[in-house]
């Protein structure tokens, strides 16, 4: 009954750091370092581990917290959070093995039970399992971020500093996912052209990217209702596309893309409607009409922006 621990996400420029903690309790074939497995095989094994292991825990530390406490402290926090999840399950273990050479628990009551071992994810099945579940969980999280930030390619590079990722940052700025304490991104700490402001995200531990988006959309939905629109859908999603707000006024249905801005100087919402985004919106509107068998109605694309921590309305505009 060994508690195996491994981390993923130490080096990316964006996204969370995730530590996996697993007590296997039984044998699972084909376990090895997650980096030596195909994505498909990792997903298969992660599902098997979650089904068969005695306990699985994950510890998450997101970018704003990494920036506040530093990477070393973030690793310790993620490790402690992962073990706390395991401990809530009441599963006993007699040893803790951490991949690497640093005892991330040395300042805790569990520090004396730790063995550190380089390449443990290749040698110790429970550490391999921790590596796999952490990798799959983090990758799935980053794929979801592609929906929020489609121009960054997070699903492909999962936050690492690839050429495509660097080019997107240069063109669009940074997001709350980005680690501004990392040297390549340090210059963005003082820039005003952020896609979102990390200060807004970190002003409350309970504020998430989704909550910011929801609040911005609520501002626009209220504006539309006051101006005679009936809200038909909020966050209408399919595996092909997504629409923030679908509303109807008279015989016209509007499909509105909502953007949040740090402040009034960060560029109007129309700047976010790139040719690629316009194509996506047009497809989404046509698909919505097809799915709902709409006829004899006009379809119109629209954009809107909300600015600042008070979520004030910037503008709502039709796109010709």
Boundaries of every domain in the chain: 2-144, 147-192, 209-319
User: What is the four-CA torsion angle of 154, 62, 36, 40, rounded to 10 degrees?
Assistant: -50
Cα angle 205, 210, 215; round to 5: 95
First CA to last CA across the chain, in angstroms? Answer: 64
CATH of region 209-319: 3.40.1350.10
Q: Are the C-beta atoms of residues 104 and 79 closer than 8 Å to each other?
A: yes
CATH of region 2-144: 3.30.420.10
Would you state the pLDDT for residue 239? 76
Q: Are the C-beta atoms of residues 313 and 282 closer than 8 Å to each other?
A: no
Residue 205: other Cβ atoms inside 10 A: 9
Q: Are the C-beta atoms of residues 256 and 220 closer than 8 Å to each other?
A: yes
Same fold for the pair 2-144 and 209-319: no
Distance from C-alpha of 315 to C-alpha of 320, rounded to nearest angstrom: 15
φ/ψ of 61, rounded to 5, equals: -135, 120
Would you state the pLDDT for residue 206? 42
Would you state the pLDDT for residue 273? 72
Q: Which two tokens stand for residue 226?
A: 């006051």
Sign of the Cα torsion 298, 292, 148, 239 reads: negative
Sign of the Cα torsion 128, 130, 133, 137 reads: negative
Q: Which two tokens stand for residue 152?
A: 């960054």
Sorted by sequence, the CB contacts under 8 Å of residue 71 that are 6+ apart come out as 10, 17, 181
φ/ψ of 294, rounded to 5, equals: -85, 140
For the chain, 320 residues long, give each residue's pLDDT as a single digit of tens: 899 999 999 999 999 999 999 999 888 988 998 888 999 999 999 999 999 999 999 999 999 899 999 999 999 999 999 999 999 999 999 999 999 999 999 989 999 999 999 999 999 999 999 999 999 999 999 999 988 888 899 999 999 999 999 999 988 889 889 999 999 998 887 654 455 443 443 343 344 566 677 788 888 998 999 999 999 998 888 877 889 999 999 999 999 999 887 655 545 556 667 788 888 899 999 999 888 888 778 999 999 888 776 677 888 888 86
Cross-strand partners of 303: 257, 317
């Amino acid at each position: 009954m060994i508690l195996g621990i491994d981390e993923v996400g130490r080096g990316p420029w964006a996204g969370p750091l995730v530590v996996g903690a697993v007590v296997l309790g039984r044998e699972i074939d084909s376990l090895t370092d997650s980096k030596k497995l195909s994505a498909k095989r990792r997903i298969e094994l992660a599902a098997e581990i979650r089904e068969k292991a005695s306990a699985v825990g994950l510890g998450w530390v997101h970018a704003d917290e990494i920036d506040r406490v530093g990477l070393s402290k973030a690793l310790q926090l993620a490790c402690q959070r992962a073990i706390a999840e395991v401990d809530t399950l009441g599963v006993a273990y007699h040893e803790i093995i951490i991949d690497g050479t640093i005892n991330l628990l040395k300042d805790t009551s569990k520090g004396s039970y730790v063995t550190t071992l380089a390449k443990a994810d290749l040698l110790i099945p429970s550490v391999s399992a921790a590596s796999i579940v952490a990798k799959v969980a983090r990758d799935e999280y980053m794929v979801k971020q592609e929906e929020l930030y489609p121009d960054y390619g997070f699903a492909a590079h999962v936050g690492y500093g690839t050429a495509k990722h660097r080019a997107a940052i240069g063109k669009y700025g940074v997001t709350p996912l980005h680690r501004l304490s990392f040297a390549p991104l340090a210059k963005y700490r003082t820039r005003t052209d952020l896609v979102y402001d990390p200060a807004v995200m970190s002003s409350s531990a309970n504020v998430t990217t989704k909550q910011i988006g929801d609040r911005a959309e609520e501002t626009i939905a209220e504006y539309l209702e006051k101006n005679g629109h009936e809200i038909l859908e909020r966050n209408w999603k399919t595996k092909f596309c997504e629409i923030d707000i679908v509303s109807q006024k008279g015989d016209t249905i509007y499909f509105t893309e909502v953007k949040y801005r740090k402040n009034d100087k960060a560029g109007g919402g129309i700047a976010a409607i790139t040719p690629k985004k316009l194509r996506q919106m047009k497809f989404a509107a046509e698909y919505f009409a097809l799915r709902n068998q709409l006829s004899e109605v006009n379809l119109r694309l629209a954009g809107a922006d909300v600015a600042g921590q008070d979520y004030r309305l910037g503008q709502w505009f039709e796109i010709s």
